[in-house]
């Protein structure tokens, strides 16, 4: 019932409440079918009015996006907890915890970037790729695990390189934005220092 958390939903709920209140107040003076019809009509009218004045789609999308972000943060926290407490991951715990720390640091930055490839990649790493590596490894027998430790370590290091590449991309974009702003400020205020009349 995400829709009830929007302004449109609140307007509809208000229309129903007003309709019920009027039905209760006017019940002695009106026929029964009219008292039943009042909340329905006012609720329906409020529904259409609410949708016209406050389209709920952007609010619903925002709510769902926030819920997804919280779910990803919880998934990352669970991965960190499991990596630091499970003995199975001991041979490569250092690489795994370092990767998770990098993901914790970069996740808010990529979320703030909006709908970008970097954001999608980091989300995919947290939700699909990293658990997808660890889950099958966890189910292996101890002998098979030992045989595949090096492969898993290499895969984790590859994921870490991907995160480092995204860090570098973000830093390069920020550096270029800073350089553009510095150039703009220099040009704008250098003109003001020049004499206007000669």
How far apart are the C-alpha atoms of 103 and 163, rounded to whole Å?
Answer: 7
Query: Radius of gyration of the chain from Cα atoms?
Result: 29
CA 6 centroid distance within chain = 18
Angstrom CA distances, 149 to 24, 36, 83, 133, stand at: 72, 69, 15, 11
List the domain boundaries for the chain. Answer: 2-55, 59-174
Q: What is the pTM of this model?
A: 0.63
The pLDDT of residue 74 is 92
Which regions of the chain are under pLDDT 70?
1-5, 192-198
Question: What's the pLDDT at 181?
Answer: 92
pLDDT of residue 196: 62
133, two tokens: 């590596």
165-181 burial string, b = 16+ CB within 10 Å, else e?
A: ebbeebeeeeeeeeeee
Q: What is the pLDDT of residue 195?
A: 64
User: What pLDDT, on the 0 to 100 scale, is given for residue 1?
Assistant: 59
Structural contact between residues 56 and 2, judged by C-beta atoms closer than 8 angstroms:
no
**Cα 126 from Cα 105, distance rounded (Å):** 12
Please, are residues 61 and 3 in contact by the beta-carbon 8 Å criterion?
Answer: no
pLDDT at site 198: 57
Residue 4, helix vs strand vs coil: helix
Q: What is the pLDDT of residue 42?
A: 83
The pair of structure tokens assigned to 16 is 């129903």
């Amino acid at each position: 019932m995400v829709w009830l958390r929007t302004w449109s939903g609140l307007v509809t709920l208000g229309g129903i409440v007003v309709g019920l209140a009027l039905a209760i107040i006017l019940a002695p003076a009106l026929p029964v079918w009219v008292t039943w019809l009042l909340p329905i009509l006012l609720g329906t009218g409020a529904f259409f009015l609410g949708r016209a004045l406050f389209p709920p789609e952007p609010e619903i999308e925002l709510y769902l996006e926030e819920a997804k972000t919280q779910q990803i943060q919880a998934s990352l926290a669970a991965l960190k907890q499991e990596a630091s407490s499970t003995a199975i991951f001991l041979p490569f715990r250092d690489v795994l915890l370092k990767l998770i720390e990098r993901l914790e640091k970069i996740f808010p930055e990529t979320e703030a970037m909006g709908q970008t490839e970097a954001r999608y990649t980091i989300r995919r790493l947290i939700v699909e790729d990293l658990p997808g590596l660890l889950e099958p490894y966890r189910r292996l027998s101890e002998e098979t695990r030992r045989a595949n430790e090096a492969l898993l370590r290499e895969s984790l290091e590859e994921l870490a390189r991907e995160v480092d590449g995204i860090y570098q991309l973000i830093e390069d974009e920020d550096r270029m934005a800073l350089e553009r702003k510095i150039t703009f400020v220099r040009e704008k205020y250098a003109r003001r220092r020049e004499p206007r009349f000669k």
